[in-house]
Chains A and B, each alone.
Chain A
């Protein structure tokens, strides 16, 4: 019997030794991993076209946190609590538990946690900033003294990464994407949201952030920061290992800090409806996300474990100096709106923010427009959504 799994390429590569070991130990149950594209949106396109084509060849799909409600609403996923029980998430860090259940069902079991972090240059300052405001001041000061070309790079291309960056700033300013307590109402024209948007645009206008950020995704920001051209970078945990590689211009000169609520970007397994052997698929899912597997992935690839026990493990901490930062970051993460309409909401927001950071319009006008369009989208869903 074979359970087939679609994953983005890096995860398929990282889990390959584990899967090989599993397949050696189990004669009657084999795991077949399909190596999907690197890029998140390309993987989503691939998964969706394979689902639209019908008779999907996969039992399990490794999904980004924002896809779950959309896939569930489309009727593509199997609820997991009948297979895994109601306590499948018990023992995970609070920040990693978010975003797996929707509409009264559990749809997803997280494999690894991911959240926005701030990377800083230990050779340019003595201590990391304690807030985003302080970061901006330090960055501006370093630029003024001509110590570094750019102050702060982040993901400003018109794509999902921009929404992630904005959400962190928004939380820092005390704002919310959807109104707390009523997730059918957007809250993007609040004074806090306007201030957050204005702050991001101000970074570009003042030159702390290069104007090129408007076409920068994770990889380009890593390229700029990795070349030693910036004092700070906002990125995910993976960047740390990349920056330590031989040949990196900043190896050994990088620190990481979590300022406020990082956007939650975890990856997890969902089961596709129509899987021929759900029991076995559930067992595979459990095994992938078990503590021993998580420990192995953490030790060899630095993947952030979701289990509290591993986050607190002193042995693991020796091998992963980043672990305390990650544990602290996972105390509180910022979740993007859990709705099947998330892609539209994020698209509307990206559009306005992209306009703003490329210098057109005011934060007030941009956020008012984002609010108006988000309201239209959420209204279409009706009260039942």
Chain B
């Protein structure tokens, strides 16, 4: 009986998540592009063969991983720091929290534009700062070797507050008596963090990491607006490549294949993270 209460929600979730995946599975086995007049025609595994041989897919996969890896690491680090800060009694805590959360609440496309202006060469404020220090202007968005770092910067700026929020919830779940007990034992702040806070926060960290990892691997709007994937495709993400194939090249068969390829990647990575966690736990049990 109570199962009935679940059905409408589950139906919608399945419709939104499962149906597209099934549809992509079918589309990925079809040629469906301007060359077929947008009519799907079975083409065996041609799309999949193309995917495996597509250097751009693998390059974008590597770039997406690089982006997601660094973003995630920085966000967890900064987010933890921010959460610890916001957890402490602060003057005007409500206002401070709201102000710190603001970057997360603004639409990505909105601030991506803002960053494009801030990083502008030569008229943006960052270059203004460099020039007033007597340094030459820097092409923040025109260096294939370093531009991706600034896409990470924009992402970290936007998402750290969200990570901090999730971790803050975790911090508040830690009973304050435990911290007090450790303090009485003479443990310093660093020790309390290592021996108490981090272990108890671990499930929150893991979950936040998985959640953010998947979102960062799907990065799309930030890149599209900030760099368009350039320079020299050095910031192109898999999602942007799939979008180009679908909406600019009108090659739906290959776009669907790219999306499934990306899905496989996300799935594999999440499994890897969970597996290493499980292994570490097993090891901790074995070694007393």
Contacts and interface: CB of A to CB of B under 8 A. Distances in A.
A159 B244 contact: no
A75 B36 CA distance: 10
Interface in A201-235: 210-215, 220, 223-224, 227, 229
Find the residue from A156, A158, A341 having the highest chain B CB count within 10 A.
A158
A336 to B, nearest CB: 15
Contacts of A359: 144
B30 to A, nearest CB: 14
B228 interface: yes
B34 A74 contact: yes
A355 interface: yes
A355 B234 CA distance: 9
B268 to A, nearest CB: 27
A351 interface: yes
A192 interface: no
B249 A343 contact: yes
B142 to A, nearest CB: 3
Nearest to A341: B34
Contacts of A74: 34, 37-38, 250
Contact of A157 (B38, B228, B249): B228
Interface size class of B (residues with CB under 8 A): 20 to 34
A214 B230 contact: yes
B191 interface: no
Contacts of A381: 35
A163 interface: no
B205 interface: no
A234 to B, nearest CB: 17
Interface in A50-77: 70, 73-75
Contacts of B232: 158, 214, 351, 354-355, 358, 360
B231 A159 contact: no
Interface string A338-373: 001101100100110011001110000000000000
Find the residue from A156, A215, A223, A354 having the highest chain B CB count within 10 A.
A215
Contacts of B250: 48, 70, 74
Interface string B98-136: 000000000000000000000011110000000000000
Interface in B241-283: 244, 247-251
B141 interface: yes
B35 A158 contact: no
Contact of A159 (B35, B121, B230): B230
B137 interface: yes
Nearest to B122: A212
Contacts of B139: 210-212, 214-215
A70 B251 CA distance: 11
A207 to B, nearest CB: 11
Contact of A158 (B120, B143, B233, B251): B233
A360 B34 CA distance: 33
Contacts of A20: none
B35 A380 contact: yes
A183 interface: no
B144 A355 contact: yes
Contacts of A223: 123
Contacts of B248: 41, 44-45, 48, 343, 347
A266 to B, nearest CB: 20
B237 interface: no
A351 B231 CA distance: 8
A108 to B, nearest CB: 16
B34 A157 contact: no
A73 B144 contact: no
B34 A215 contact: no
Contact of B34 (A41, A70, A224): A70
A44 B142 CA distance: 25
Contacts of A290: none
Given A48-B250, A70-B34, A74-B38, A215 B121 contact: yes
Find the residue from A212, A229, A344, A354 having the highest chain B CB count within 10 A.
A212
A294 B254 CA distance: 42
A158 B230 contact: yes
A229 to B, nearest CB: 8
B159 interface: no
Contact of A215 (B37, B141, B244, B247): B141
Given A48-B250, A212-B122, A358-B142, A75 B230 contact: no
Interface in B169-219: none
A312 interface: no
A385 interface: yes
B229 interface: yes
A49 interface: yes
Contacts of A157: 228, 230-231
Contact of A73 (B35, B122, B137, B244): B35
Find the residue from B37, B141, B233, B250 having the highest chain A CB count within 10 A.
B250
A224 B227 CA distance: 19
B165 to A, nearest CB: 33
Nearest to A340: B34
Given A49-B247, A74-B250, A213 B142 contact: yes
Contacts of A215: 121, 139, 141-142, 227, 230-231
Contacts of A382: 35
A358 B231 contact: yes
Given A358-B144, A360-B144, A75 B37 contact: yes
Nearest to B244: A347
A249 to B, nearest CB: 13
Interface of A: 41, 44-45, 48-49, 70, 73-75, 156-159, 210-215, 220, 223-224, 227, 229, 340-341, 343-344, 347, 350-351, 354-355, 358-360, 380-382, 385
29 contacts: A45-B248, A70-B34, A73-B35, A74-B37, A74-B38, A157-B230, A158-B231, A158-B232, A211-B142, A212-B121, A214-B142, A214-B230, A215-B142, A223-B123, A224-B122, A229-B122, A340-B34, A341-B35, A347-B244, A350-B230, A351-B232, A351-B233, A354-B230, A354-B233, A355-B231, A360-B144, A360-B232, A381-B35, A382-B35
**Nearest 4 pairs of A and B residues by beta carbon:** A158-B230, A214-B142, A355-B232, A212-B121
